[in-house]
Amino acid sequence: MNRKVTRRDFLDGVAVTAMGAAAAVALPGAAQAAPSAHPGPTPHGHGRPKAPYPPTATGLRGQQPGAYDVAHAVRDGAFAPGRISDTRETYDLVVVGGGLSGLAAAYLYRKHAGPRARVLVLDALDDFGGHARRNEFHVGRTQLLSNGGTVNIDTPSTWSRGARDLLTKDLGVDLKALEATVKGDAYAPYSLRSGTLFNSERWGKDQLVIRESGESWASYATKLPMSEASRAALVRLYTTTEDFYPGLTDAQKKEILARTPYETYLREKLGLDADALEMVKRGTNGLWGVNVDHVAAADAWATGQPGFGGLGLEHTPWPGAGLTPLMHLAETEEDGNFYFPEGNASLARLLVSKLVPDAFDERRPDWQRIVTAKADYSRLDDRDNHVRIRLGSTAFHVRNEGRHGAVVDYSKGGQSYRVRAKGVVMACWNSVSSYVVPELPGEQVTAMRYGTKVPLVYARVALRDWRAFARARVSRVSTPSMFFSSFGLPTVTEIGDFAMPHRPELPTVVSLSATPGSPGLVCREQHKAGRRTLIRMPFEDFEREIRDSMTRSLGDHGFDPARDITAITVNRWAHGYAYEYNSLDDPSLYQPESQRPYAKARRPVGRITIANSDAEAFGYTHAAFDAAIRAVAHLL
């Protein structure tokens, strides 16, 4: 851990992120690693300078340094636009936000308005797709891909007809064929297991405890460095068949669980103490971004968390849960593991390929070839395109102009510009819209600021090989008492010309995740606390946590971070996924949908409409598509 950082590591993000464009000039080869060194085309699109390729940029990514500056200044009343240059550009539609909602809105608008409709997409980040972000590494001649945000196509049986048609008919994704690209038995020859690192700060010494394949909880618990009482509670949690609410109906049990924190249920019904809870407290992080202290026991049950084996609950929503029950309760045999190696960045890239036909080296690649197609970012904002995607551009003032149009002022590269359109789709976060659209009624502004984005980090680490995993015979390690919750080997996919390598002597990309918060507070306050944590963390701190987790776990098996790690990409989403309402904190969940803040927040104002996953209070791809469908329908 104390080994001097090599020049390779230096260029992989530590100093490049800190020094920005200056590093790109001073250090040969640093330009690709510097996420902030994005010259891009001029606002008018004149010329086509060679553009960086954001998917291969390493260091601090996601919402990269500087991406917040204009928006935060607008929020704080401190933004000075200076002279606003009128570009004299007029569009049929301007979309503010280039995530899946924004790109889908642009595509659907042109689908119905006609191919000659002119559309401009503005996005504050230096890559398109929003949370649907592609991470690409090259270790020698090996290409590695991973998702930098949204992971998979979840439960398509629950999608609306419009969202499903967009996925399967417009984008042409064959779900059954996509599922077949996942090679679930790729690691079978290596007999890999799961492990848990008990770190010295919390447990007295560093200890990697392995659970053998098929090992019972009773046997596994004997290895855990905790008291007999704590071990017994964990065994009870995973094996219980007791009905803790005898004599109550299914509906009555669910009503109780909907108003009971999962942690309270674990303590009171299953007897988990602090040590036992330490093992399972983050089991809800992946869906809600908070620990078990502030997730309803009903939600925990619905998503397969342990401890409910004896309740005999029917696989149906609980009464009063509202109009949008958890989609996990509606799964059918039609649903499966629908996963691209770069996550849903493939869907964003498919949309871009249809909006800007010459954006990729292959004209309009299909859903398989899009994975290896290389985007030419210099073509995204070409003045000859009917659709232009302008990155690094933050809208700061959007207003209606008369009955038939709107004006959008935005900042790019420290300069302010103005464009006009027949209509605008605000496909950025609701909180941003609440500050940049001055015509919004007060009630709508309040509604837009109600939900708080879930903060999260997806770190991706390119390795020269994964021999240390093979020696330890583990594929994933949980790290419950450290910053990152776990790390592990990738899902193996073979799609088009891409195949994820999966032999120990070959390169791979390891995934780590974290959802910082402040346990004990209501969810929205936890998310705000986690956001502050992420915004303040420099890349060096993330890198230190990554090296520390992996070295403590695998160091005894030959892992050496200075030798084995070739690159690190930290996808920092301080403003992450859409806030999802819960039965503990959000009384409006029990009201008609029209009375909930997210429904009030999505009301159009003149020629300005709202489309984002916030508008559905659901951080999933189909929610983003549904919002785009609604917004475009209003404008047309």
pLDDT at 322 over 90: no
Q: Which of 50-54, 210-214, 238-242 has the lowest mean pLDDT?
A: 50-54
Torsion over CA of 51, 52, 54 and 59, rounded to 10 degrees? -150
Give residue 21's pLDDT band: very low, low, confident or very high (50, 70, 90): very low
pLDDT at 555 over 60: yes
Percent pLDDT > 90 in the chain is 83
Q: Say what the pLDDT of residue 32 is.
A: 28
pTM comes to: 0.91
The owner of tokens 């910082």 is 516
| Region 587-604 average pLDDT | 93
Q: What is the DSSP string of 412-457?
A: ETTEEEEEEEEEEEE-S-HHHHHHH-TTS-HHHHHHHTTS-PEEEE
Tell me which of 157 and 629 has the higher pLDDT: 629
State yes or no: pLDDT of 154 exceeds 90.
no
CB 577 within 8 A of CB 65: no
Dihedral sign computed on CA atoms, order 132, 409, 535, 517: negative
Residue holding tokens 């992996």?
Answer: 550
Lowest mean per-residue pLDDT among 34-48, 410-424, 535-549, 553-567: 34-48
The torsion region of residue 155 among left (phi > 0), alpha (psi -120 to 50) and beta comes to left
**Contact 436/74 with Cβ under 8 angstroms?**
yes
Question: What number is the average pLDDT over the span 491-517?
Answer: 96
Average pLDDT over residues 552-577: 97
Torsion sign across C-alpha atoms 167, 172, 176, 178: negative
Q: Which amino acid is at 469?
A: F
pLDDT single digits (tens) 117-143: 999 999 999 999 999 999 999 999 999
> pLDDT at position 333, please?
59
Q: Is the pLDDT of residue 299 over 50?
A: yes
- Tell me, what's the pLDDT at 363? 83
Do 15 and 24 contact (CB within 8 A), yes or no? Answer: no
Q: What is the mean pLDDT of residues 532-550?
A: 96
**Average pLDDT of the chain, as a whole number:** 90
Q: Is the pLDDT of residue 370 over 70?
A: yes
Contact predicate 427/123, CB 8 Å: no
